[in-house]
């Protein structure tokens, strides 16, 4: 008899627990749903392919084709392309058949002017307030406080030049990347 009585209580407790769970689940779901936009706000959008890589683009918005690009430029050239988030990014020609494996964001770290490459000086010299960066984009004269941001540069299987975020140590300063 005890067993029967216990059995009759059990469904009652089960239903209560079920209702509690349902209520908790609903509340949690609503809370998570409300939080989702907030959480999304803090997660940077993916900018493209593996590792966030995107095709570098020329001034017309066409993908940069490595073989064509190398044929059109000389060793040592630093050539602007559109990189991550459309930022002007220097691609560097290392030899007749290779690009340097990093690019330099051309936006001056002082107040944001695009910094031209001065081949005769072997430096980037900002026309706005005179900041200078060496050939690797490391700041060598202020007022710019920081070196030019780095990005990975690779050539994919279709001969397209791609740019990807640089999140590792800045090899020029041995510090964490300020831009990541």
Residues found near ligand FES in the complex (CB under 6 A): 108, 110-113, 126, 128-131, 143-144
Residue number, 146 or 153, with CB nearest to ligand FES: 146
Distance (Å, rounded) from C-alpha 86 to C-alpha 61?
Answer: 10
The phi, psi pair for 160, rounded to 5°, reads: -90, 135
Neighbours of 146 (CB within 10 A): 18
Closest Cα to residue 105, out of 152, 174, 45?
A: 152
- We find the least distance from the C-beta atom of residue 127 to ligand FES, in angstroms, to be 8
Please, which residues have CB within 8 angstroms of residue 3's CB and are 6 or more apart in sequence?
Answer: none
Residue whose CB is less far from ligand FES, 79 or 115: 115
Report, in Å, the least distance between residue 139 CB and ligand FES: 10
Q: C-beta of 117: minimal distance to ligand FES in Å? A: 14
- Note the maximum CA span of the chain: 101
Beta carbon nearer to ligand FES, 66 or 139: 139
CB of 172 to ligand FES, least distance (A): 18
Q: Which is nearer to ligand FES, 126 or 146 (CB)?
A: 126
């Amino acid at each position: 008899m005890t067993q029967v009585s216990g059995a009759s209580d059990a469904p009652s407790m089960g239903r209560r627990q079920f209702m509690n769970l349902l209520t908790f689940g609903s509340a949690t779901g609503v809370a998570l749903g409300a939080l989702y936009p907030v959480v999304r706000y803090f997660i940077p959008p993916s900018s493209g392919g593996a590792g966030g890589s995107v095709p570098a683009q020329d001034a017309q918005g066409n993908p940069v084709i490595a073989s064509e690009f190398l044929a059109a430029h000389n060793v040592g050239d630093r050539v602007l392309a559109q990189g991550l988030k459309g930022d002007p990014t220097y691609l560097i020609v290392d030899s007749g058949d290779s690009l340097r494996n990093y690019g330099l964001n051309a936006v001056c770290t002082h107040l944001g002017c695009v910094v031209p490459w001065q081949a005769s000086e072997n430096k980037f010299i900002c026309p706005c307030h005179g900041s200078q960066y060496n050939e690797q984009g490391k700041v060598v004269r202020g007022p710019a406080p920081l070196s030019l941001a780095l990005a990975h540069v690779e050539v994919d299987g279709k001969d397209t030049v791609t740019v990807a975020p640089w999140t590792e140590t800045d090899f020029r300063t041995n510090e964490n990347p300020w831009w990541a």
